[in-house]
Amino acid sequence: MATIKQALISVSDKSGVLEFARGLNDLGVKILSTGGTAKLFADNGIPVTEVADYTGFPEMLDGRVKTLQPKVHAGILARRDLPEHVATLAAHNIPTIDLVVVNLYPFAATIAKPDCSLEDAVENIDIGGPTMVRAAAKNHGHVAIVTDPSDYTSVLAEMQTNDGAVSDATRFDLMKKAFSHTAAYDSAISNYLTTIGSDGTKTEFPEQINFNFAKVQDMRYGENPHQNAAFYRELNPVAGSIANYTQVQGKELSYNNIGDADATWELVKTFDQCACVIVKHANPCGVAIADTPLNAYKLAYATDTTSAFGGIIAFNRELDEQTAKQITDNQFVELIIAPSVTDAALAITAAKQNVRVLIVPLSNAHNQYDMKRVGGGLLVQTPDILNVQASQFKVVTKAQPSAEQLQDLLFAWRVAKYVKSNAIVFCRGGQTLGVGAGQMSRVDSTRIAAIKAQNAGLSLIGSVIASDAFFPFRDGLDVLAEAGAKAVIQPGGSMRDAEVIAAADEHGIAMVYTGYRHFRH
Ligand SMILES: NC(=O)c1ncn([C@@H]2O[C@H](COP(=O)(O)O)[C@@H](O)[C@H]2O)c1NC=O
């Protein structure tokens, strides 16, 4: 590509643009700019021509028309390899514009303000900017388009070592980024405007929902080896989400690793106390809270030593050397996640090449939507962020739960929310004892949870139990009573609640209702 002779710079986010413009000027590039950007350059001694002077038309209509001029767009869009295009420019005395630097009115930031009016939002829909971005991107064979301030340094460096030119490969990459930028911008506009009815009322879910995710990596395969897969991340992933991971050790993450890591992380981060969660196939197979990560791990592991093999383990505290050693001596582990990892712990895990270690910053923020793909459609809901407090519990039995049982019921309830339905979780002393997950019948789930505790050599005598939804019949109560549970937490609301309460009273069990269920499919 030829040396860049003229650039048009028109940016709302002005970070880094002075240094970039200074560098361009040093390379002999003529700079055209819109009002605010031109003023910034002039105030800082960078030679600049205002677009209004260049076109002979003033910026008008409150900035709605600034760069929307043939002299600008012909200069961007003309193909330099077509003699007719070159002749047309010459006939109209239009110089080429070889570099376009644009970022758009801050629409997303504007609508994020709680008091944003429709008028404010509409005024922050950029028209001239995307038009230039798309024109320059279309003509990427001849024009470089820069939409991201983080690209200024590399583009300038390339020009400095390349006779003031930007390579074909870089222009191609910049073009893809530019079209993605305008696509995300238009998505935000469409998402916002389609939540507003013609009478001004707002709906929670837009009439058309547009998502923009950027590829993080291709994967070796998907859920199964015959499926191809890739991992995508939101353009601005919410704080505390698994997508913010930094991998500090181990081989490439797999599709199932990321899915299971999400399930593990979403549960462990809900605890205030030091916690450890072990997940296998998207279900927790061991969860515990304790004074240290080491003790939490030992308790969580003890729940189901068989299923923990090849599992994902997460902590909401720093991973220390002792804990790392205990895990790697003890079991085969696919992945360990923690908000931070000591160097000594990393040295331990490094000895096991296959162990992946991720650091994810903790935060209680949550996704705006939960989604599930179905054939030809998408189910969208708000995430299940409800955390029922003990003060909301309603005791429905003659027996009252003790203070200790209440603590365990809260713990069990929290875990059950992250177990696939029908979920049954036996707990005691901040440790899961048996988990029944993903069964089609609640009584079978209860039986399985009890069998698992028995297999692990964990007594259920005096345990508590959580059920993610109501017991439809008394059979589940009979099974858990026989296993030794002394307190139950469940939403209540069955047609046969009276029968279930009577069963609990018969067995001398305390039962609390939360009033909310936590199906997870
Ligand atoms: N109307 C136009 O012709 C037009 N041309 C460029 N802009 C935008 O104006 C902004 C820069 O304005 P200023 O240089 O005045 O701060 C950029 O975000 C750019 O995308 C325009 N504004 C909105 O459409």
Which member of 14, 281, 352, 366 is catalytic? 281
Ligand 1 atom having least distance to the Cα of 130: 20
Going by CA atoms, what residue is nearest to atom 15 of ligand 1? 36
Q: Hey, which of 8, 9, 10, 18 would you mutate to test ligand 1's pocket, going by the most ligand atoms within 8 Å of its Cβ?
A: 10
Alpha-helical (H) ranges within 335-491 are 343-350, 403-416, 442-455, 475-483
Q: How much helix, strand and coil, in percent to the nearest 5, is found in the chain?
A: 40, 20, 40
Contact between 359 and 245 (Cβ < 8 Å): yes
Instruction: Answer yes or no: is 10 within a domain.
Output: yes
Task: Specify if 374 maps to a domain.
Answer: no
Neighbour tally for 184: CB within 10 Å: 19
Half-sphere exposure for 188 (CA within 13 Å, toward CB): 23
Same domain, 134 and 42: yes
Residues 398 and 344 in one domain: no
Can you give the CATH number for the domain in which 347 is found? 3.40.140.20
Q: Is 346 part of a structural domain of the chain? A: yes
Whether residues 151 and 290 fall in one domain: no
- Does 106 share its domain with 29? yes
The answer to whether residues 262 and 146 belong to one domain is no
Query: What is the model's pLDDT at position 1?
Result: 61
Residue 157 lies in a domain: yes
177 is catalytic: no
* CB-based pocket (< 6 A), ligand 1: 10-12, 34-37, 63-68, 102-105, 126-129
As to burial, measured by CB atoms within 10 angstroms (0-12 exposed, 13-18 middle, 19+ buried), residue 351 is exposed
On whether residue 132 sits in a domain, the answer given is yes
Catalytic residue status for 281:
yes
- The Cα 191–Cα 277 span in angstroms is 36
Predicted confidence pLDDT, tens digits, the chain (521 residues): 689 999 999 999 999 999 999 999 999 999 999 999 999 999 999 999 999 999 998 888 988 888 889 999 999 999 999 999 999 999 999 999 999 999 999 999 999 999 999 999 999 999 999 999 999 999 999 999 999 999 999 999 999 999 999 999 999 999 999 999 999 999 999 999 999 998 989 999 999 999 999 999 999 999 999 999 999 999 999 999 999 999 999 999 999 999 999 999 999 999 999 999 999 999 999 999 999 999 999 999 999 999 999 999 999 999 999 999 999 999 999 999 999 999 999 999 999 988 999 999 999 889 999 999 999 999 999 999 999 999 999 999 999 999 999 999 999 999 999 999 999 999 999 999 999 999 999 999 999 999 999 999 999 999 999 999 999 999 999 999 999 999 999 999 999 999 999 999 999 999 999 999 999 99
Q: Is 278 helix (H, G, I), strand (E, B) or coil?
A: strand
* Ligand 1, atom nearest to 34 Cα: 14
**What is the Cα–Cα distance from 373 to 362, expressed in whole angstroms?**
28
Give the closest residue (by CA) to ligand 1 atom 17. 11
- CA dist 370 to 125, 170, 230, 380, Å? 28, 36, 19, 6
Identify the active-site residue in 5, 14, 138, 366: 138
334, 253: one domain: yes
Longest Cα–Cα distance in the chain: 98
Q: Whose CA is nearest to atom 8 of ligand 1?
A: 129
Alpha carbon of residue 247 to chain centroid: 16
Alpha helix ranges (H) inside 334-399: 343-350
Residue 206 lies in a domain: no
Residue nearest to atom 13 of ligand 1 (CA): 36
What pairing do the DSSP bridges indicate for beta strands 275-280 and 283-289? antiparallel
Q: How far is CA 202 from the centre of its chain?
A: 25
Report the nearest atom of ligand 1 relative to the CA of 66: 3
Pocket test for ligand 1, best of 126, 148, 186 (most atoms within 8 A of CB): 126
CA of 66 to the centre of ligand 1 (A): 7
Q: Are residues 429 and 291 in the same domain?
A: no
**Which residues, in sequence order, are bridge partners of residue 100?**
8, 145
Instruction: Report if pTM > 0.95.
Output: no
Helices 343-350 + 321-330 axis angle, to 10? 20
Whether residue 145 is found in the same domain as residue 261: no
Are 300 and 431 spatial neighbours (Cβ–Cβ below 8 Å)? yes
Domain CATH code at residue 66: 3.40.50.1380
How many domains is the chain partitioned into structurally?
3
Residue range 423-464, pLDDT digits in tens: 999 999 999 999 999 999 999 999 999 999 999 999 999 999
- Please answer whether residues 254 and 220 qualify as being in contact, where contact means their C-beta atoms are separated by less than 8 angstroms: yes
Distance of alpha carbon 224 from alpha carbon 208, whole angstroms: 32
Handedness of CA 89, 94, 95, 100 (dihedral sign): negative
pLDDT digits (tens, 9 = 90+) for 396-422: 999 999 999 999 999 999 999 999 999
What is the distance in A from the centroid of ligand 1 to the CA of 238? 29
Closest-lying ligand 1 atom to the alpha carbon of residue 68:
3
Residue 372 placed within a domain? no
ipTM of the complex: 0.93
Count Cβ neighbours within 10 Å for each residue of 481-513 and write b for 16 or more, e otherwise. bebbbbbbbbbbebeebeebbebbbebebbbbb
Say whether both 37 and 139 belong to one domain: yes
pLDDT at 510: 98
399 in Cβ contact with 386 (< 8 Å): no
Nearest to 210 by CA among 228, 234, 174: 234
Are 56 and 162 in the same domain? yes
Domain range for 36 is 6-195
pLDDT given at position 353: 84
Residues 171 and 50 in one domain: yes
Examine the domain organization and report whether 476 and 425 are in the same domain: yes
CA 77/CA 54 separation, integer angstroms? 17
Examine residue 200 and state whether it is found in any structural domain, yes or no. Answer: no
